[in-house]
């Protein structure tokens, strides 16, 4: 199979998530096209056997590039195995209300675009204190303090569960393979 992974990222963690998924898919013997939606051109869903979208949450929203991509291609996305991977910090929270909010982001995307992703994975992202400017660092530290997260701004903190991501990808490949070769 040939799988499209189309991603948006602001700080780079979702690129890392997308690259890891690409490595897992290639190791399983399939081909991947990895497309950063900041560089449009070849991310045309109809050309692929299956599609994985990956995007972070910033200020309670997916990046505009991902929303526009889904709006533009939703008919094609509805016709093939397709999943969305949402990268957020709220999914890592000890607070059940925060986690529920994170789990609801694909629903908000469905309301906004008319495309409801059937297959969903939530990955915890990263706090990149060393890369933020002064204001972002202050804001994220404040949010972390409120939610019991790490407040040591002298280093970055990564929360992504790579084993869970690998398992999600393998499960998705099984679904995609069934759709590509349906039983007679």
Ligand X SMILES: Cc1cc2nc3c(=O)[nH]c(=O)nc-3n(C[C@H](O)[C@H](O)[C@H](O)COP(=O)(O)O)c2cc1C
Binding site for ligand X (CB under 6 A): 9-14, 56-60, 87-90, 102, 125-126, 136, 140
Which is closer to ligand X, CB of 88 or CB of 113?
88
What is the nearest approach in angstroms of ligand X to the Cβ of residue 151? Answer: 15
What is the nearest approach in angstroms of ligand X to the Cβ of residue 184? Answer: 42
* CA dist 105 → 2, 108, 134, 164, 177 (Å): 27, 5, 28, 19, 27
Residues 168, 162: Cα–Cα separation, whole Å: 10
What is the nearest approach in angstroms of ligand X to the Cβ of residue 117? Answer: 18
Which is closer to ligand X, CB of 39 or CB of 183?
39
- Starting at the edge strand that comes first in sequence, how are the strands of the sheet with 119-124 ordered? 31-36, 2-7, 50-56, 82-88, 119-124
Which is closer to ligand X, CB of 34 or CB of 176?
34
Which is closer to ligand X, CB of 42 or CB of 138?
138
Q: Which residue is nearest to ligand X (CB)?
A: 125
What is the nearest approach in angstroms of ligand X to the Cβ of residue 79? Answer: 27
């Amino acid at each position: 199979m040939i799988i499209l992974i189309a991603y948006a990222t602001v700080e780079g963690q979702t690129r890392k998530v997308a690259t890891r998924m690409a490595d897992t898919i290639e190791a399983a013997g399939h081909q991947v096209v990895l497309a950063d939606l900041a560089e449009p051109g070849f991310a045309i869903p109809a050309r692929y056997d299956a599609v994985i979208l990956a995007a972070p949450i910033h200020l309670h929203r997916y990046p505009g590039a991902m929303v526009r991509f889904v709006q533009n291609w939703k008919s094609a996305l509805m016709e093939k195995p397709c999943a969305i991977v949402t990268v957020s910090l709220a999914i890592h929270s000890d607070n059940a209300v925060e986690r529920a909010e994170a789990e609801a982001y694909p629903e908000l995307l469905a309301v906004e675009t008319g495309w409801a992703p059937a297959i969903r994975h939530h990955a915890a992202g990263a706090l990149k204190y060393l890369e933020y400017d002064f204001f972002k660092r202050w804001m994220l530290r404040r949010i972390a303090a409120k939610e019991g997260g790490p407040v040591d701004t002298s280093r970055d903190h990564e929360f992504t569960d790579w084993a869970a991501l690998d398992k999600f990808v393998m499960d998705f490949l099984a679904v995609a393979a069934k759709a590509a070769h349906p039983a007679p």
